[in-house]
Structure 1
């Protein structure tokens, strides 16, 4: 399917400041070997990954101050349409310390600036003006102070009303509200895909889902209750897809991990682009898994398209 636009709603973008150390020692002076700054937050990583795949992408969210201008310039450099709402507060900065010897990272997440009800109305109006039939709308990331707790659910409803595909990657109460909204209101004219990880899903269900069989049973039940498609990542156990007449599990290709931060977001980018192109669930899962693995092989949250193509051939997708 050609001609779709991927609209990425990231309410709480950030400037990611990546600082690389050989060995990280808390509470002591650490010498930084390399520093990089780039637009971040979950949605910005989705935008970057989708652009690597050649998709047409627009970014929606809230930015303010000097850091907000850096985010806007970053969108321009990526070839992403900047549809952010300007706010009075300053967009947050996220320090990320990467330990080169292990590939582990430490992330310090600020809450973000205050967002008003009027600014949220502007975001919804901006989406309403541009979302079209067969577009894909991704809503992802934390909610800054002042944001309605059901913002992700509101964005999903808006997308579905326009016949678009809605993908939501949320956690905690925001994730619970998306699922509850699907139970109450159905999935409308489009397709709703809910993409938590197993830990996030366990948190809202209040039970242990570390056993893949328990996870699959929980996802089966949620799909039956809501009609939504669920795609749940589960670390070394890969990812499961339940919905749209398919019940699948995909493994994750092994790479030398440099920095796994953002791998779930790159997975989401691959999934969104594949669905926008009209690919079948198995093909969408293969691309998503390859994107997540390729991200882990990169210092910054990013992917090498050549590596993605190579890894996609190594992904195994089969019946769950």
Structure 2
């Protein structure tokens, strides 16, 4: 079983307008409310790929009920921990003619020790053959080591893990050997305080993450495609042609495609191909991509060995 953890889920209120004028009244041309959170996005993509998951996380208050109602339309298996405080609302503004996206994210609920313990008790069922994908920010009162503590716990029970994070938090996970990490090329450069002049340097520093313990490294490069790097080989996925409508969830979709395929096939190259297709298909969609779009984009992607 694949478990996704979204510790700080949200209602994503996505607004589209022609231009964003600060300090003035703006009127949207379109708006939609979506169940948000990086782990939720992963579960939704895996559902499109006919792979079952169980979504875990903290939800609470009136907005928590609204969140669960929005999520119910996607027929996901969930086991949320109810908390006293309200689930947050994030506002995403897409100014089409300016080609800019602006986000205002809520802070989320405070989690009590009792609520945290209730959540941790659910992890006792995780074991051999399972994988946990942890993604997104943490709500208040949870320690910065929350995800890493979970990883260490479930590893003792025989499960694999992925933590989708950046910076020092990413580096701290590597000695526990995550199944895959996926920084973008800017985040990778920031990790090592360097500037990349070419693709070969990106591959070189991706392999440093392998040396530190990661099992696979994917690097997303926006319009330049993506890389999958191992100690012996490096592969590139081209960026398929399409109009980027909403980049929210694209990285989550890429991880979902890779992990879902890898758990079924054990083939990192095919998993990378599917992951790249999922990421681009979501970027070309207003919401998380559907299977038809993923299949279409998959056929436009070629995986090349660049060693």
Alpha-carbon separation, structure 2, partners of 1:75 and 1:163: 30
Q: Does residue 1:311 correspond to 2:297, yes or no?
A: yes
In the other structure, the counterpart of 1:99 is: 95
In the other structure, the counterpart of 1:152 is: 147
Q: How does 1:76-87 map to 2 (within 5 A)?
A: 76-87=72-83
Which residue among 287, 291, 298 is the counterpart of 2:285? 298
Cα–Cα, structure 1 residues 111 and 177, in superposed 2: closer, same or farther, change >3 Å? farther
Superposed CA offset, 1:6-45 (max 9, x none): 2111111100001111222222221111121111021221
In the other structure, the counterpart of 1:71 is: 67
Cα–Cα, structure 1 residues 69 and 245, in superposed 2: closer, same or farther, change >3 Å? farther
Alpha-carbon separation, structure 2, partners of 1:63 and 1:176: 29
Indicate the larger mover: 195-204 or 274-283.
195-204
Give the aligned CA root-mean-square deviation in angstroms.
2.1
Q: How far 1:143 moved relative to its partner?
A: 1.4
Superposed CA offset, 1:239-273 (max 9, x none): 22234865322222121122122211111221121
Contact between 1:232 and 1:241, CA under 8 Å: does it hold in 2?
yes
Alpha-carbon separation, structure 1, partners of 2:209 and 2:286: 36
Superposed CA offset, 1:41-64 (max 9, x none): 212211211111111111111111
Q: How far 1:295 moved relative to its partner?
A: 0.8
Superposed CA offset, 1:194-232 (max 9, x none): 222222233333333464222211111221232532222
Indicate the larger mover: 204-213 or 67-76.
204-213
- Secondary structure of residue in 2 paired with 1:105: strand
Report the count of equivalent residues. Answer: 306
In the other structure, the counterpart of 1:128 is: 124
- Secondary structure of residue in 2 paired with 1:193: coil
In the other structure, the counterpart of 1:224 is: 211
Indicate the larger mover: 192-201 or 78-87.
192-201
Long gaps (5+) in structure 2: none
- Secondary structure of residue in 2 paired with 1:156: helix
Which residue among 254, 279, 284 is the counterpart of 1:267? 254
Long gaps (5+) in structure 1: none
Cα–Cα, structure 1 residues 204 and 211, in superposed 2: closer, same or farther, change >3 Å? same
Q: How far 1:138 moved relative to its partner?
A: 0.7
Q: Does residue 1:50 correspond to 2:46, yes or no?
A: yes
In the other structure, the counterpart of 2:274 is: 287
Alpha-carbon separation, structure 1, partners of 2:268 and 2:253: 17
Q: Does residue 1:170 correspond to 2:165, yes or no?
A: yes
Contact between 1:152 and 1:170, CA under 8 Å: does it hold in 2?
no
TM-score normalized with structure 2 length = 0.91
TM-score normalized with structure 1 length = 0.88
Q: Does residue 1:32 correspond to 2:28, yes or no?
A: yes
Q: How far 1:312 moved relative to its partner?
A: 0.8
Q: How far 1:90 moved relative to its partner?
A: 1.0
